Amino acid sequence: MDFSSKLLERAVNEMAQLPGIGKRTALRLLLHLLKQPLEQTDFLAKSLLQMREEIKFCKSCHNISDVEVCEICSNQNRNHNIICVVEDIRDVMAIENTGQFRGIYHVLGGKISPIDGVGPSQLNIATLVDKVKMSEVEEIIFALSSTMEGDTTNFYIYKQLKDFDIKTSTIARGISVGDELEYADEVTLGRSIVNRIPFENSLKSN
């Protein structure tokens, strides 16, 4: 693209480094900002910088937090003996939104993926094992996505924990509530039949 302004070109190039934002989209967003009051760009730029510079990660669960230990980990009304292992903080937010989980979390920060150069040592796995060693953990729930990488990560952690006397579980896979069976993929439909639950249990949830 042939920009008539170096300032605009530089901003487009910076913006287009964000995942899923191409140069055309970046240009559209920037032209929008140019039409808005200066304050909007000012607030945006400052909130980005402040977030990046000041945000902390909970030293217990690695969730994002403004303080040393996040609200969830410091909440004494939650069951600290049940730990839900997730990939990133979006998963924490998604599960919290359901209102169905009263334990605590452990954010790995990714999945084991040799193709992307991510090994176990780059993830927050050691601190999870320490937590199991140090405190009275009863159950670990694996809530990673069911991909090759997710399964590999689950299994790696499972092996690390197999000498401890704890329960391990994974979230249920099945047909989404409200979905038509005929459109479900075979693997999911198959698993939902194999892992069927007593009918009475389905009456309880929600």
**Could you please report the per-residue DSSP string of 60-73?**
TT--EESSSS-TTT
Tokens of 103: 């334990």
Min CB(15)–a copy of itself separation in Å: 7
Which residue lies nearer to a copy of itself by CB, 16 or 166? 16
Which residue lies nearer to a copy of itself by CB, 71 or 138? 71
Could you list the residues that contact a copy of itself (CB under 8 A)?
1-8, 10-11, 13-15, 17-21, 25, 27-34, 38, 40-55, 58, 63-66, 70-72, 88-90, 92-93, 96-97
Tokens of 154: 């689950």
Angle formed at CA 107 by CA 78 and CA 16, multiple of 5 degrees = 135
Min CB(181)–a copy of itself separation in Å: 28
Identify the residue whose tokens are 């808005």: 36
Min CB(43)–a copy of itself separation in Å: 5
Contact status, residue 110 vs residue 93, Cβ threshold 8 Å: no
Residue type, 110: G
Min CB(113)–a copy of itself separation in Å: 14
Min CB(4)–a copy of itself separation in Å: 5
Which residue lies nearer to a copy of itself by CB, 11 or 128? 11
Which residue lies nearer to a copy of itself by CB, 27 or 85? 27
| Secondary structure letter of residue 56 according to DSSP | E
Which residue lies nearer to a copy of itself by CB, 73 or 161? 73
**What dihedral do alpha carbons 13, 14, 15, 16 form, nearest 10°?**
50
Residues 6+ apart with CB under 8 A from 150: 87, 111, 144
